[in-house]
Structures are given as structure tokens and as C-alpha cells.
Chains A and B, each alone.
Chain A
């Protein structure tokens, strides 16, 4: 797809399926902050000012276990490092050239917002704000509900809540896999991540992705070379 729709409503519409996927995470985080001693205000503040998803969980757990602030910050850094790739990938695609707007957009750049807007070669500002804004509000609501309701029900520990994001991510990337290089990249990254998932601070995901991209590009180069050579004969 070349250009995103130029409306807030379209952004909200396109990210809506992912709002449902993140609901369990918000609920769990909200209930987690009570157990770790962060409290209602501390917990909600996490979601308001950090808006970091997985890093919030890790930081809350570390806080609850008495980790020092340095350890929490180091963990946050490595867990969120993949967002640097998001920014790099999205930068050439954003329509707005205003630095202040881009700076503000970067705060709202989460896995889900990135997944939705990165499908386009040109991302209109209204579309980005619709998608990212909806995700932000959604996260606040479910965090608050988790805090309010957290003590009143227990999550079934055997249900893999983490899996709920997978259908959302697959629904985004599968339609994009329309070229061999994309299929190769996705398959290789997925395969490598199975062996790197236990790397410290979740760094394995990013390393698997970087290696997947590199290997896919190398494959593509050699396939192109062979194709050109065969064509000359």
C-alpha cells in the first residue's frame, strides 16, 4: 500500500482489532502494580508517562523484587531497543516534516502502532494520531480497570495471555508478505527467535530480527545474481 488514509477515524478503525488484543495486558499490568507495591497512582503513572508495554511489566516486577533503579533502567533500555528500529523504519515514511510533531509521535510509537502504520510508504499525520492515540487511550483504560478490578478476580495462570497479541501481529504482517524477500525475512527471523528467546533483557528478539533481515538480503542478492546470469545465457 502506498499512502495511508488521511483521517483520524481510519487510524482508529485499523488499529481497533489490536485494541482488543492488548486489553488482557492492560488488565494484568493494572493488577500487577498492586502486588508489587507501586500503588494506584504509581501504576497508572507508569502507563501514562512510560507507555512501554513489556518494559512496564519487567520494571514493575523488578521494583517489586527490590531491584535498584540502575538495573531497572538497564532492563528498560534493552527491552525497548527494538523501538529504535521502529523509529528508523518509520522516519522516511512520515508525511510531517516538523521536528516537534515527530518528537511527539515518537512517544506513542509502540509495537501495535508501528505494525499498523508501517504498512504504508507514506503515513499521513492524522492517520498516525488516530491509530497511536487510540492505542494510548486503550492502554490507560485497561490499566485503570486492572487496578480497580485486579484484586477481585484471578487470571487463569495456565492461559497464555501473551499469545493474544500474536493473531493481531500475524493479521498485519501476512498481507505484507507478497514478495520472496519478505517471506524469507519473516521465516528466518521467526526461526532464529526460537533459539534466542532466552537472551537477557529480551535482546534476542531484536538480534533475531536483525539477522533475519541481513540473511534475507544476502539471499535476495544471490538469487538476483543467479537470475541475471541465467537470463544472459
Chain B
């Protein structure tokens, strides 16, 4: 497992270090962080139980919304606000 995990990370990091990338490839790669993190978040926000639910009834949705709104004030306030809203919503039965 160590070999596979390490190899995946190492090969891409080393290969892309030694080649000259086209403008399109560079643009493509610049979008990777936003794309991957968004795709990881999507199901956790809108389908936390694995099934479609009304977002209004989801603590995850409201916590994410608060996080987005507070993000302009910094990462720590945004994360704290998101977790507090989520736990509060959970306690309230959302």
C-alpha cells in the first residue's frame, strides 16, 4: 500500500517537473484544486446519507452555507462557524 500510494504521488510530481507544459495543460492543472475539493464536498453536503434529501432539512447544507459566507473573514472563523452550525443543527434534529 505504501508503494502504491507513494508511487502515484511521486510519479506525477516528478514527471510534471521535468516536462514543459502547454498553456492549455497549465490552465487545466490550475483548476484541479477547486475541481477536486468541490467534488469531494458535494456528496457530503447534499447527500450525506447517500440519498437525495431536501437541503433545507440538512445540517450539512446550512453549515456549508455559513462557512461560505464567513470564508471572507479567514479560514479559522469559517471552519469554526461551519462546525458549530453543523453540531447545533445535529443537536436540533436536522
* Most chain A beta-carbon contacts within 10 A, residue among B15, B16, B72: B16
A206 touches B36 (CB 8 A): yes
Residue of B nearest to A177 (CB): B34
Q: Which residues of B contact A77 (CB under 8 A)?
A: 4, 8
| Chain A interface residue bracket vs B | 35 or more
A169 to B36, CA, bound (A): 10
CB of A225 to closest CB in B, whole Å: 15
Verify if A223 is at the interface (C-beta below 8 Å from B).
Answer: no
Known: A160-B48, A166-B44. A50 touches B38 (CB 8 A): no
| Complex: A94 Cα to B11 Cα, angstroms | 15
Asked whether A52 is an interface residue with its Cβ less than 8 Å from the other chain, the reply is yes
Contact between B28 and A217, CB atoms less than 8 A apart: yes
Inter-chain contact A170/B67, CB cutoff 8 Å = yes
Contact assessment for B32 and A88 in the assembled complex, using a CB-CB cutoff below 8 Å? yes
Alpha-carbon separation in the docked complex, A106 to B41 (Å): 23
Give which listed residue, A105, A171, A186, contacts B38 with CB less than 8 A: A186
Q: B-side binding surface: helix, strand, loop or mixed?
A: helix
The answer to whether A166 touches B12 (Cβ under 8 A) is: no
Alpha-carbon gap, A99 to B80, bound state (A): 38
Interchain CB contact under 8 A, A189 and B38:
yes
- In the assembled complex, the CB of A82 is this many whole angstroms from the nearest CB of chain B, namely 6
Sampled A-B contacts (7; CB under 8 Å): A88-B15, A102-B14, A162-B44, A169-B41, A173-B33, A209-B36, A216-B31
* Contact indicator A166/B63 (Cβ below 8 Å): yes
In the assembly, what is the distance between CA of A176 and CA of B50, in Å? Answer: 28
- B54: interface (CB < 8 Å): no
- Which residues on B sit within 8 Å (CB–CB) of A182? 31, 34
Query: When A17-B76, A190-B38 are in contact, do A84 and B47 touch as well, CB less than 8 Å?
Result: no
Given the known inter-chain contacts A182-B34, A193-B39, please indicate yes or no for A92 contacting B48, CB distance below 8 A. Answer: no
Q: Roughly how many angstroms separate A190 CA and B26 CA in the complex, as a whole number?
A: 22
**Inter-chain contacts of A105 with B (CB < 8 A):** 13
Q: How far is the CA of A186 from the CA of B30 in the complex (A)?
A: 12
- Complexed CA–CA distance, A111 and B13 (Å): 15
Selected contact of A164 from candidates B12, B36, B83, CB within 8 Å:
B83
Q: A181-B31, A185-B35 are in contact. Are A73 and B4 (CB under 8 A)?
A: yes
B55 to chain A, nearest CB (A): 11
The answer to whether B35 and A210 have CB atoms under 8 Å apart is yes
- Determine whether A155 belongs to the interface, using a CB cutoff of 8 Å to chain B: no
* Distance, CA A182 to CA B12, complexed state (A): 23
Question: Interface readout for A67-95 with B: 1 if CB under 8 Å, 0 if not?
Answer: 00000110011001111111111111010
Taking CB atoms and an 8 Å cut-off, the chain A residues in 137-159 that contact chain B are: 158-159
Given contacts A166-B60, A217-B28, contact A86 B12 (CB under 8 A): yes
Contact between B12 and A83 (Cβ–Cβ < 8 Å)?
yes
